[in-house]
Amino acid sequence: MGMTITEKILAKHAGLKEVQSGMLINAKVDIAMGNDVTAPIAIAEFKKAGGHKVFDRNRVVIVPDHFTPNKDIPSAQNSKILRDFAREHKLSHYYEGGQIGVCHVLLPEQGIVVPGDLVIGADSHTCTYGALGAFATGVGSTDLAAVMLTGELWFKVPETMKIVFRGKRNPWVTGKDLILHVIGQIGVDGATYRAMEFTGETVRDLTMADRFTIANMVVEAGAKNGIFIPDEITRDYVQYRAEREFTFYNSDPDAAYASVLEIDVSQIEPQVAFPHQPSNVRGISQVGSIKIDQVFIGSCTNGRIEDLRIAAHILRNRTVAPYVRLIIIPATPEIYRTAMTEGLFEIFLDAKAVISAPTCGPCLGGHMGILAEGERAVATTNRNFVGRMGHPGSEVYLANPAIAAASAVLGRIASPDELKGVPPL
């Protein structure tokens, strides 16, 4: 029996010829990442266990991205814990100040994560890196501490479900819409502890930005990891970034899958996830008239330069509706610089948007865009749980950057097709 790409990567890192779903293995970790919410706990456990030296200073990554710039004394204290730890252990990959980016965009951009890696992060959206053809999954802070000490961690090999995308995408349909549609089909527990492998003819036309977005949100269906078979689009992205050699794995033709879901993307329109679950999905034509108070474009899901270009395409020569706040946050300094160089900031400022330095802030209700009671937001983020972006009585609607930008202009959830003079990309 053949193996899936997920099984092959796990077998390699466990030093085994083959693995099967359900097996318990101990595997070597290539990259271990923590942020300003999770790493302080991991560092405390590391010290409690008698740790004096991390397993590899080049493979432990610390990114204080959630509350940056520090919003209060507790967040400043947490960042100091990370700073002191990074200094003590001479970590190669520690980011702060003007170097900080949203971790799940920053690590691939900097070539820290490469195809074929086994990556753990004390953050649930670590699964983003599966877009590169890596096995990447979120873990708890104590697991991060164990890896910082030993460089290894135990795993239960997940069974794999295959999602096959076929057909041509409609205008304004992005990777965000494909994954929202899938989550709407299978539910928030439809892939619990499974690997979600994405394939099919449509994948060949997906940019890396689309693939990152899809892999990012598999955890919203309960998945252990999401993964794409790397191809030339992957190679074009990593070959000038990778700081280490990488390996392209694929799935064997006779690999075993727990299930196969085939999706005709030509039947999908832009999707909107209603409160309070990412699975509560409707097509944009079924949304109705829902007034909004805030729009947020950014996060590890949709804060890449491709996302900002889409938003700028729609916002050009337009302004935000009265009493609506539009917040735009490039995910990394490199994306920030590119957006500035390309003139996107001028478009955003003319539209009366707020532009922030890279941070996760609004996505988790941390800072830079908290919602008050009764307020509604359209966000390009990944979660819309009760109180996710502020008051428990607020509402978050998930959408792609095109829907978000058009909604900001019209003051209600809307499609770019409702605006005159906006040609499809």
Q: Is residue 200 classed as helix, strand or coil in its secondary structure?
A: coil
What does the pLDDT average to over 29-57? 95
Place of tokens 């610390």: 62
Verify that 138 and 27 share a domain, yes or no. Answer: yes
In-domain check, residue 424: no
Distance CA 207, CA 211 (A): 6
Q: Give the pLDDT confidence of 102-142 residue by residue, as tens digits.
A: 999 999 999 999 999 999 999 999 999 999 999 999 999 99
Verify that 221 and 280 share a domain, yes or no. Answer: no
In-domain check, residue 231: yes
Q: In what order do the strands lie in the sheet with 135-138?
A: 93-94, 60-63, 31-35, 118-121, 135-138
CA distances from 145 to 47, 64, 287 (A): 9, 16, 45
Verify that 216 and 82 share a domain, yes or no. Answer: yes
Place of tokens 């099919």: 200
Residue-level pLDDT at 17: 95
Boundary (domain end) residue, out of 235, 263, 291: 263
Verify that 247 and 295 share a domain, yes or no. Answer: no
Verify that 299 and 353 share a domain, yes or no. Answer: yes
Distance CA 309, CA 329 (A): 13
For 292-332, where are the alpha helices, taking DSSP H only? 299-302, 305-315
Verify that 394 and 250 share a domain, yes or no. Answer: no
In-domain check, residue 81: yes
Q: Which domain holds residue 276?
A: 271-418
Q: Give the pLDDT confidence of 146-202 residue by residue, as tens digits.
A: 999 999 999 999 999 999 999 999 999 999 999 999 999 999 999 999 999 999 999
Verify that 319 and 407 share a domain, yes or no. Answer: yes
pTM: 0.95
Q: Is residue 100 classed as helix, strand or coil in its secondary structure?
A: coil
What CATH number corresponds to the domain at position 355?
3.30.499.10
Q: Percent of the chain at pLDDT above 70? A: 100
What does the pLDDT average to over 276-298? 96
Distance CA 409, CA 418 (A): 10
Residue-level pLDDT at 150: 97
How does residue 421 score in pLDDT terms, banded at 50, 70 and 90?
confident
In-domain check, residue 78: yes
Q: Give the pLDDT confidence of 229-258 residue by residue, as tens digits.
A: 999 999 999 999 999 999 999 999 999 999
Verify that 59 and 172 share a domain, yes or no. Answer: yes
User: What is the enclosing helix (H) or strand (E) of 154?
Assistant: strand 152-156
Residue 123 DSSP class:
S
Boundary (domain end) residue, out of 226, 244, 263: 263
What are the residues whose beta carbons fall under 8 Å from the beta carbon of 77, sequence distance 6 or more? none
Verify that 304 and 326 share a domain, yes or no. Answer: yes
Cβ atoms of 404 and 410 within 8 Å: the answer is no
| Number of domains, the chain | 2
Verify that 276 and 180 share a domain, yes or no. Answer: no
Q: Which of 134, 185, 142 is nearest to 29 (CA)?
A: 134
Boundary (domain end) residue, out of 263, 285, 317: 263
